[in-house]
A and B are shown apart, each in its own frame.
Chain A
């Protein structure tokens, strides 16, 4: 079917692949960026680690579009307000309160449910925008690049991640670089993906956080595979766990001082180890096989 057969040069399907990890610093960005440049065209890279985006340091994209991402928060017209307190009653997030003849809003606590606007009998509450951060879009070679940068001091990253994901082009292979952890930002990054690659390292911390990430992905019912980075350090517990859980190991990358040094300078792994391109293409083919 044309749905499955993409028009990228690899000749294999279009899909959304999310690179996650549980533990930070295991190599998510390395895999996401190098996979993106190894597939010959028709690829998008979306950096959804909006708190600490790093993919641009390696992709060095030319940015041709920048926008401020805002969420709607309430603005109260005190001339209309009769201080009935219904807005305060419906708000689950303590983002609006009525004290005597005053209405206080706390925009940073607002989740944009619009409950206060809906419930107000005087139509005294309207929307205004609150900036969460910026979204930038551009290109790096043949790869289309999108990322979000959370404003410093801003707590709420999920709506910004959602906005980055709105740029997914269904005609392309979309590679998502997810944030570390297993809580809401990771879930938002993962949701709707066709496949998740979990990048881990064979250490007790790596294994502990891998298990948590696997649980999260299973809740979302997304098929998954593992890439073991620095595969020759630590112990064999990750490989054992993968076997027990029947999770495919897609690739193992041995500890390589040259890759680490290149990484430290913002240089892509495939630029110093070109043979990795073939291995990453093989990973993609495996995934295409698994997703069917």
Chain B
């Protein structure tokens, strides 16, 4: 089983557009959308949901005013300023640590588990996808990402599919770490800007920290070719396999508006570049085995 996670560090470099195209090209794969708090892949895949489950995350304290004696014990102990002077827990500030629950002398505080979101197994025109929806302002995005990846693995084994393609979140924090640990390789989609390079350096550091083989491609490379060359140099110096450069083309936006991946939408330079990248990635994943 091979698993490729597509990440970017910086947001908006074109991760999901690349993943949607890979979805159209690749065979024998399961797709996984691990960008659980701003998922977009479904807009192109138009999944038909076959299975749906609640995602249960942490707990939130709830003070029962009928039992509460307003002694102030909880207020004093809460490290997150989540309890108001009139003894109401702010759901957003509550970290779910249970300290107030434990120390309440009259057991006035309930501690129910939260439903933090949902996850789904769906069919698409490109094969099965596991995706999720983190509730707005909810925590535990890393847990949900891990769940999505595990379910994608189970599905791949059940259906004897040998590749998992994961659309990762931006950044380098909790959900990104959850989307790359133990994956076969990461592909970083970057852009030829100072921000793109800066963020590439940080997210590459993260992949190196977890000792994950790293590939990269430059999207919209012709926006600033000098910067694209700087990125290529950076990759060469840091053992990152640069698997391709994708030109800028407004067709990518038209494809998105049409709800299609760019490789389905047109046969232009962008499609050629992405097909070429996928074939290289596939070869590299195979060589790893």
Q: Which residues of A contact B (CB under 8 A)?
A: 21-26, 29, 49, 51-52, 54, 57, 90, 92-93, 111-115, 118-119, 150, 152-157, 179-187, 191, 203-205, 208-209, 212, 215-216, 219-220, 233-235, 260-261, 263-266
Across-interface contacts of A185 in B (CB, < 8 A): 171, 173
Give the number of residue pairs across the A-B interface with Cβ within 8 Å.
185
- Given A57-B195, A92-B98, A263-B195, 16 further pairs, Cβ under 8 A: A23-B40, A24-B8, A25-B12, A51-B172, A52-B11, A52-B171, A115-B98, A118-B77, A119-B102, A153-B209, A154-B173, A156-B173, A187-B137, A203-B256, A204-B40, A212-B37
CB-contacts of B246-270 with A (<8 A) = 250, 253, 256-257, 259
B99 near A114: Cβ-Cβ < 8 Å: yes
Q: Which residues of B contact A (CB under 8 A)?
A: 8-13, 16, 36-38, 40, 43, 58-59, 77, 79-80, 92, 95-99, 102-103, 134, 136-139, 141-142, 169-177, 191-196, 198-199, 202-203, 205-206, 209-210, 223-224, 227, 250, 253, 256-257, 259
Expressed in whole angstroms, the Cα–Cα distance for A111 and B195 within the complex equals 31
Closest residue of chain B to A215, judged by CB? B136
Closest residue of chain A to B195, judged by CB? A54
Expressed in whole angstroms, the Cα–Cα distance for A34 and B223 within the complex equals 21
Expressed in whole angstroms, the Cα–Cα distance for A182 and B11 within the complex equals 13
Across-interface contacts of B196 in A (CB, < 8 A): 264
A54 near B198: Cβ-Cβ < 8 Å: yes
The one of A23, A154, A186, A233 in contact with B253, judged by C-beta atoms closer than 8 angstroms, is A233
Closest residue of chain B to A115, judged by CB? B99
Contact sample, A vs B, 22 pairs, CB 8 Å cutoff: A24-B12, A25-B10, A25-B12, A26-B11, A52-B171, A52-B195, A54-B199, A57-B194, A113-B97, A150-B173, A152-B172, A180-B171, A182-B38, A183-B36, A183-B134, A185-B171, A187-B92, A203-B256, A205-B40, A261-B223, A263-B193, A265-B194
A205 near B43: Cβ-Cβ < 8 Å: yes
Given contacts A261-B223, A265-B224, contact A90 B102 (CB under 8 A): yes
The one of B10, B97, B174 in contact with A157, judged by C-beta atoms closer than 8 angstroms, is B174
Closest residue of chain A to B203, judged by CB? A52
A182 near B12: Cβ-Cβ < 8 Å: no
Expressed in whole angstroms, the Cα–Cα distance for A119 and B136 within the complex equals 33
